[in-house]
């Protein structure tokens, strides 16, 4: 099934995707429109040819959405399952509060990538901006390039892997040992994204868990 | 007083060692708080709403009908209470039998029995109840005919399946008890079930964000609302809830962002756990908040098109009727609903004492050791609230409120509670007159009006 957003209304596209859609859906001329392909719950492939605005593939379940262009803010926000791939760069809040599924960004991601993530796996082939993985609760973030300042601020149990340079770490985020279990998970995520980096070049970061219970001696970190 | 003491000193030649003159600057409660802060090194965290004296709906009175207009007969002439909410864009607006809804309270802050009691009572009364921070539980979906699903900054438990099975969505920007603040749930209430719903480790002190993770400002909110509409195929209404502070701006911006319904929560609104300094010192009382919200809607010619729900310290049918007379379409109750199902009830005194309080003074929801089984996850304490009993209490209380509203509305000659209007009110104090823009009783004076 094909949609051309130059002529077809966004409402028509999303309604179609919610009602027993065909296995393959192609969308042309997205022209930066917001809310393209949101709320899908179907085992289908959606290819969007061009740049998208806010919340593309938001709350996705089961489908595979590929954006052949750049993505605006909060691509794949609150994704539950399935996979969203951005062939270009992604703006801020990519994968925000994602509960599951996978987000792969072939370019760079802006600030607050993976904010409040709750189980999503995010692989960024390039670099991420500041405050990425802020309050990250669960899931994995793989950063093949550099990470901006305050990575993993107030992080809970999410796990971050970084290959490139680091800015200042966020509050309660610390480097941890890359154990065999972590190497295995990292290797599987790199393979999923089609990236052939060696896991040896990565460092692992997670929570020091100092902020889990209020302690007057940590007041300065709050 | 000082003179008396000097006389005593002269008479007895004893040092004046027992002075009982309290300080206005440092009264006993302030001394206690300074000592507590010095001991603990952290602000006080507590539940419920503002305890300080604030201007309330008590400062307004109804002008019952007499010669110039006639009242309605209580037994024969109907006074309707139904209300439709959210028909600006939604295909399926909310239809309620009464204009009193139940505010968002989280599973986590409240136990499952409390949530079930509330859901059952709301359903029996033909009104809606609301989820809270932490997502939707099966119990509350099953027990609530009309359920409003909150989208909060934390996004705990948020998922599209629950969005689609909700009857309305409420985007929470702020809360009256803490406009500008995020949520808190202390470790003792993060049980395994609560932790699982929130994707958090069990037993940690949990902080929720104060801003949404994927939008900032009204332009983004407009796109966010459109996303929620697209996901739910434009079926259900979208509410926007704000804590009362800059009410006029917030209401106007929520209208612009595309809300069907705006919820304005005044500073008397309750909380499960918030810093006392927030509860007592941030926000605007409900009385002026209603008027500011209605004025903003009227200015945009959207009054009664975008619906207004007012909450924050609503306690009775009189309070609700006054909010409606000022222009609200419905009110929402949270703390009062908790009180109806047993909060601060005079029972289990020893357990109140163990918390360092007594019935009537308890604000210890944050501890998870609620003596009456309302704000707890402890199975033993929770068993003290039987959902059927809780539902009956809340149903009785809501019925009483409705009868009170109808009594007042009929006295003012109204065949529908929504026909109450500012002209039916008079203000008892200059402050209330200024805040509600209602003439001071016995005058036509509204302080602050340019003409007077
Ligand atoms: S009685 Fe229970 S619900 Fe009421 S204030 Fe105390 S802890 Fe909270």
Q: Report the pLDDT averaged over residues A95-101.
A: 98
Residue B382 Cα to ligand 1 middle (Å): 12
Report pLDDT digits (tens) over B241-293.
Answer: 999 999 999 999 999 999 999 999 999 998 888 889 999 999 999 999 999 99
Sort out which chain B residues have CB atoms less than 8 A from A82's CB and list them.
none
Per-chain mean pLDDT for chain B: 91
Give the number of the atom of ligand 1 that is nearest the alpha carbon of residue B369.
7
User: Residue B189 pLDDT more than 80?
Assistant: no
Distance CA B227, CA A77 (A): 11
Report pLDDT digits (tens) over B74-95.
Answer: 878 999 999 999 999 999 999 9
Report residue B448's pLDDT band, with 50, 70 and 90 as the boundaries. Answer: confident
Q: Report the pLDDT averaged over residues B417-439.
A: 97
Distance CA A40, CA B167 (A): 20
Q: How far does CA B43 lie from the centroid of its chain?
A: 23
Residues B230, A216: C-beta atoms closer than 8 Å: no
Report residue B48's pLDDT band, with 50, 70 and 90 as the boundaries. Answer: confident
Residues B199, A119: C-beta atoms closer than 8 Å: yes
User: Residue B9 pLDDT more than 90?
Assistant: no
pTM of the model: 0.93
Supply the pLDDT for residue B8: 47
Residue B53 half-sphere exposure toward CB, CA atoms < 13 A: 2
Count of CB atoms within 10 A of residue B73's CB?
9
State the pairing for strand pair B45-46/B83-85. Answer: unpaired
Q: Show the ligand 1 pocket: residues with CB < 6 angstroms.
A: B 47-48, 338, 343-344, 362-365, 370-372, 374-375
Select from B115, B334, B344, B360 the residue to mutate for testing ligand 1; criterion: most ligand atoms less than 8 Å from CB: B344
Pick from B70-74, B207-211, B308-312 the range whose average pLDDT is largest: B308-312
Supply the pLDDT for residue A221: 59
Give the number of the atom of ligand 1 that is nearest the alpha carbon of residue B272.
8
Q: Which of B40-49, B229-238, B315-324, B340-349 has the lowest mean pLDDT?
A: B40-49
Residues B209, A116: C-beta atoms closer than 8 Å: yes
Supply the pLDDT for residue B234: 98
Supply the pLDDT for residue B187: 73
Supply the pLDDT for residue B20: 78
Q: Which of the residues A212, A217, A218 would you substitute to probe the B interface, choosing the one with the greatest number of B C-beta atoms within 10 Å? A: A212
Q: Tell me, yes or no, if A18 comes closer than 8 A to chain B by beta carbon.
A: yes
Distance CA A73, CA B265 (A): 30
Supply the pLDDT for residue B313: 95
User: Residue B69 pLDDT more than 70?
Assistant: yes
Which residues pair with residue B330 across a beta bridge?
B309
Sort out which chain B residues have CB atoms less than 8 A from A118's CB and list them.
155-156, 199
- Under DSSP, the state recorded for A89 is -
For A155, the closest chain B residue by CA position comes to B200
Residues B214, A35: C-beta atoms closer than 8 Å: no
Residues A11, B234: C-beta atoms closer than 8 Å: yes
**Domain range annotation of chain A:** 1-98, 108-222
Say whether B303 sits in a helix, a strand or coil: strand
- Tokens for B106, please give them: 């989280």
Give the number of the atom of ligand 1 that is nearest the alpha carbon of residue B364.
7
Distances (CA, A) of B90 to A17, A160, B84, B166, B271: 20, 41, 12, 13, 30
Report residue B11's pLDDT band, with 50, 70 and 90 as the boundaries. Answer: low
Residue A219 Cα to ligand 1 middle (Å): 28
Q: Whole-angstrom distance between the N-terminal and C-terminal Cα of chain B?
A: 44
Supply the pLDDT for residue B12: 53
Question: Over the range B41-72, which residues count as b (16 or more CB within 10 Å of their CB) and which as e?
Answer: eeebbbbbbbeeebbbbebbbbeebeeeeeeb
Q: Which of A211-215, B3-7, B238-242, B288-292 has the lowest mean pLDDT?
A: B3-7
Give residues with Cβ within 8 angstroms of A99, minimum separation 6. Answer: A78, A79, A80, A118, A119, A120, B158, B159, B199
- Tokens for B195, please give them: 């932790």
- Tokens for A83, please give them: 């996979």
For A61, the closest chain B residue by CA position comes to B160
> How distant is the Cα of B214 from the closest Cα of chain A, in angstroms?
6
Give residues with Cβ within 8 angstroms of B151, minimum separation 6. Answer: B158, B163, B169, B170, B171, B172, B228
Supply the pLDDT for residue A111: 97
Q: Residue ranges of the alpha helices (H) in chain A?
A: 10-18, 180-192
Report pLDDT digits (tens) over A133-169.
Answer: 999 999 999 999 999 999 999 999 999 999 999 999 9
Q: Report the pLDDT averaged over residues A184-197.
A: 97
Q: Report the pLDDT averaged over residues A116-128.
A: 98
- Please give the order of strands across the beta sheet that includes A24-28: A2-4, A24-28, A45-49, A64-67, A83-86, A102-105, A118-124, A138-143, A159-162, A203-207, A173-176
Residues B201, A214: C-beta atoms closer than 8 Å: no
String of DSSP letters for B63-109: ----SSS-PPPTTTS--B--EEE-TTT-SS-EEESSSEEEPB--BTT
Report residue B17's pLDDT band, with 50, 70 and 90 as the boundaries. Answer: low
Are A204 and A176 within 8 A, CB to CB? yes
Distance CA B204, CA B422 (A): 49
> How distant is the Cα of B125 from the closest Cα of chain A, in angstroms?
33
Q: Tell me, yes or no, if B349 comes closer than 8 A to chain A by beta carbon.
A: no
Distance CA B452, CA B442 (A): 15
Report residue B338's pLDDT band, with 50, 70 and 90 as the boundaries. Answer: very high
Sort out which chain B residues have CB atoms less than 8 A from A74's CB and list them.
213-215
Give residues with Cβ within 8 angstroms of B90, minimum separation 6. Answer: B168, B234, B235, B236, B237, B238, B260
Supply the pLDDT for residue B67: 86
User: Residue A99 pLDDT more than 50?
Assistant: yes
Supply the pLDDT for residue B1: 36
Q: Between B387-411 and B317-325, two packed helices, what is the crossing angle to 10 degrees?
A: 50
> How distant is the Cα of B223 from the closest Cα of chain A, in angstroms?
7
Supply the pLDDT for residue B100: 98
User: Residue B452 pLDDT more than 80?
Assistant: no
For A59, the closest chain B residue by CA position comes to B160
Q: Report the pLDDT averaged over residues B149-165.
A: 96
Residues A78, B201: C-beta atoms closer than 8 Å: no
Locus of tokens 């009727």: B321
Nearest to B83 by CA among B64, B65, B97, B101: B97
Report residue B116's pLDDT band, with 50, 70 and 90 as the boundaries. Answer: very high
Supply the pLDDT for residue A220: 61
> In CATH, which of 3.20.20.140, 3.30.70.360, 3.20.20.70, 3.40.640.10 is domain B57-436?
3.20.20.70
User: Residue B3 pLDDT more than 60?
Assistant: no
Supply the pLDDT for residue B222: 98
Are B158 and A97 within 8 A, CB to CB? yes
Report pLDDT digits (tens) over A103-114.
Answer: 999 999 999 999
Sort out which chain B residues have CB atoms less than 8 A from A154's CB and list them.
207
Are A47 and A30 within 8 A, CB to CB? no
Q: How far does CA A42 lie from the centroid of its chain?
A: 20
């Amino acid at each position: 099934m094909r949609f051309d957003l130059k002529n077809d209304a966004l409402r028509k596209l999303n309604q179609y995707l919610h009602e027993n859609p065909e296995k393959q859906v192609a969308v042309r001329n997205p022209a930066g429109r917001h809310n393209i392909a949101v709320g899908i719950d179907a085992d289908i492939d959606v290819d969007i040819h061009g740049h998208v605005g806010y919340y593309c593939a938001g709350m996705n379940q089961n489908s595979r959405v590929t954006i052949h262009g750049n993505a605006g803010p909060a691509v794949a926000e609150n994704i539950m399952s399935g996979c969203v791939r951005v062939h270009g760069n992604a703006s801020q809040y990519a994968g925000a509060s994602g509960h599951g599924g996978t987000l792969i960004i072939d370019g760079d991601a802006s600030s607050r990538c993976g904010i409040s993530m709750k189980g999503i796996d995010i692989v960024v082939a390039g670099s991420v901006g500041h405050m990425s993985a802020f309050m990250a609760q669960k899931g994995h973030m793989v950063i093949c390039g550099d990470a901006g300042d305050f990575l993993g601020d107030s992080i809970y149990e999410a796990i971050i892997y970084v290959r490139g340079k680091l800015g200042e770490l966020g509050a309660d985020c610390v480097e941890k040992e890359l154990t065999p279990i972590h190497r295995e998970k990292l290797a599987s995520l790199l393979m999923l994204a089609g990236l052939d980096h060696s896991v040896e070049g990565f460092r692992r970061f997670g929570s020091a868990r100092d902020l889990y219970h209020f302690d007057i001696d940590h007041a300065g970190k709050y | 007083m000082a003179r008396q003491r000097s006389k005593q000193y002269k008479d007895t030649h004893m040092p004046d060692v027992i002075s009982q003159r309290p300080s206005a600057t440092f009264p006993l409660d302030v001394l206690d708080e300074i000592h507590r802060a010095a001991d603990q090194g952290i602000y006080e965290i507590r539940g419920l709403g503002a305890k300080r004296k604030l201007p309330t709906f008590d400062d307004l009175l109804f002008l019952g009908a007499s010669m110039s207009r006639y009242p309605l007969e209580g037994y024969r002439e109907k006074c309707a209470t139904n209300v439709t909410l959210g028909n600006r864009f939604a295909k399926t607006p909310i239809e309620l039998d009464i204009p009193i809804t139940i505010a968002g309270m989280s599973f986590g802050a409240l136990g499952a029995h409390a949530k079930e009691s509330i859901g059952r009572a709301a359903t029996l009364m033909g009104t809606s109840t609301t989820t809270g921070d932490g997502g939707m539980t099966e119990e509350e979906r099953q027990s609530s005919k009309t359920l409003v699903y909150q989208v909060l900054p934390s996004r705990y438990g948020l998922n599209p399946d629950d969005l689609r099975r909700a009857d309305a969505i409420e985007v929470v920007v702020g809360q009256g008890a803490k406009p500008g603040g995020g949520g808190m749930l202390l470790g003792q209430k993060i049980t395994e079930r609560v932790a699982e719903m929130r994707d958090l480790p069990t037993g940690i002190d949990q902080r929720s964000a104060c801003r949404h993770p994927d939008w900032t400002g009204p332009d983004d909110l407009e796109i966010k609302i459109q996303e929620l509409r697209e996901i739910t195929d434009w079926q259900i209404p979208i509410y926007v809830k704000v804590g009362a502070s800059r009410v006029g701006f917030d209401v106007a911006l929520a209208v612009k962002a595309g809300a069907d319904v705006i919820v304005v929560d005044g500073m008397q609104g309750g909380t499960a756990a918030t810093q006392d300094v927030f509860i007592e010192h941030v926000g605007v009382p409900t009385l002026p908040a209603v008027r500011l919200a209605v004025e903003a809607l009227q200015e945009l010619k959207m009054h009664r098109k975008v619906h207004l729900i007012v909450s924050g310290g609503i306690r009775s049918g009189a309070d609700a009727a006054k909010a409606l007379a000022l222009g609200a379409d419905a009110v929402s109750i949270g703390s009062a609903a908790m009180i109806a199902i047993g909060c601060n009830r005079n029972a289990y005194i020893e357990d109140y004492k163990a918390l360092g309080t007594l019935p009537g003074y308890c604000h210890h929801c944050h501890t998870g050791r609620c003596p009456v089984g309302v704000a707890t996850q402890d199975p033993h304490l929770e068993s003290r609230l039987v959902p059927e009993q809780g539902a009956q209490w809340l149903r009785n209380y809501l019925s009483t409120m409705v009868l009170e509203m109808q009594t007042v509305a009929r006295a003012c000659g109204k065949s529908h509670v929504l026909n109450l209007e500012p002209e039916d009110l008079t203000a008892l104090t200059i402050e209330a007159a200024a805040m509600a823009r209602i003439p001071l009783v016995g005058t036509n004076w509204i302080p602050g009006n340019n003409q007077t």
